[in-house]
Structure 1
Amino acid sequence: MSNLLNTFITELRRGTLTLAVLSQLRTPQYGYSLVQLLESSGIAIDQSTLYPLLRRLEKQELVTSSWDTSESRPRKYYVLSEFGLEIFLQLKEEWKKNSKELFSLLEGDEEDEID
């Protein structure tokens, strides 16, 4: 695959990963549980991508975090803030709208390829 194509794929995934992560944080999740949830939906994400993303979302006040030290291994849990939920719901609607529009364009494009 060309470097240019890899660049475009990375750009495309960046926004979708943010939306995917936000969608799973309505209930508290720690990093590994989040990776598992996403992978079970077919969305692969490296921990080296996930943790910086979670830190950025926390800095933007979309996500809050807290430590659970009740088990032998302390875990940092992340969950949507009230503001984060508002933003997520708006992004979700925007994603649905954009997806429909793009799908319509791409469907027309496939008809051109068949000819």
Structure 2
Amino acid sequence: MSTLLNSLTTELRRGTLTLAVLSQLKTPQYGYSLVQLLEECGITIEQSTLYPLLRRLEKQELVSSSWDTTESRPRRYYVLTPYGTEIFQQLKKEWEKTSQELTLLLKRS
């Protein structure tokens, strides 16, 4: 792939990754479990992309996190906040609308 195509593909995926991550946080997930859930659906996300995204979502109050220290290895779990659930539902509707519009356009090309 050309450098330009790689750049445009990355740009295209950036917003969709946010929606994909939010969609999987209805129940608490830690980083690795989230990567696995996304990969099961064909979405690859690097940890170097995931953790900054999770921190940004937490700063925006869309997700909250807590540590589980009951296991031998402590894990930080992330889950949607009520505000995050509301924003996710609105983003999902917007994605569905945009996806339908793009599908129509692309069928014409």
Q: TM-score, normalised by structure 2?
A: 0.98
Q: Which whole-Å CA distance do the structure 1 matches of 2:73 and 2:32 have between them? A: 13
**Structure 2 matches for 1:81-96, cutoff 5 A?**
81-96=81-96
Q: Helix, strand or coil: the match of 1:78?
A: strand
Q: Which whole-Å CA distance do the structure 2 matches of 1:35 and 1:4 have between them? A: 27
Give aligned-pair identity as a percent: 76
Q: CA deviation at 1:2?
A: 1.7
Q: Would you say how many aligned residue pairs link Structure 1 and Structure 2? A: 109
Q: Which whole-Å CA distance do the structure 2 matches of 1:56 and 1:94 have between them? A: 21
Amino acid at match of 2:101: E
Q: Which whole-Å CA distance do the structure 2 matches of 1:42 and 1:3 have between them? A: 23
Q: Which whole-Å CA distance do the structure 2 matches of 1:87 and 1:3 have between them? A: 33
Residue of structure 2 equivalent to 1:113: none
**Structure 2 matches for 1:1-115, cutoff 5 A?**
1-109=1-109
Gaps of 5+ in 1: 110-115
Q: Which whole-Å CA distance do the structure 2 matches of 1:88 and 1:11 have between them? A: 20
Q: Helix, strand or coil: the match of 1:76?
A: strand
Q: Which whole-Å CA distance do the structure 2 matches of 1:44 and 1:5 have between them? A: 18
Gaps of 5+ in 2: none
Deviations 1:42-65 (A, max 9, x none): 000001100000000000100000
Amino acid at match of 1:46: E
Q: Which whole-Å CA distance do the structure 1 matches of 2:96 and 2:69 have between them? A: 39
- Which aligned segments of 4 or more residues in structure 1 are displaced greater than 3 angstroms? none
Q: Helix, strand or coil: the match of 1:70?
A: coil
- RMSD (Å), alpha carbons: 0.5
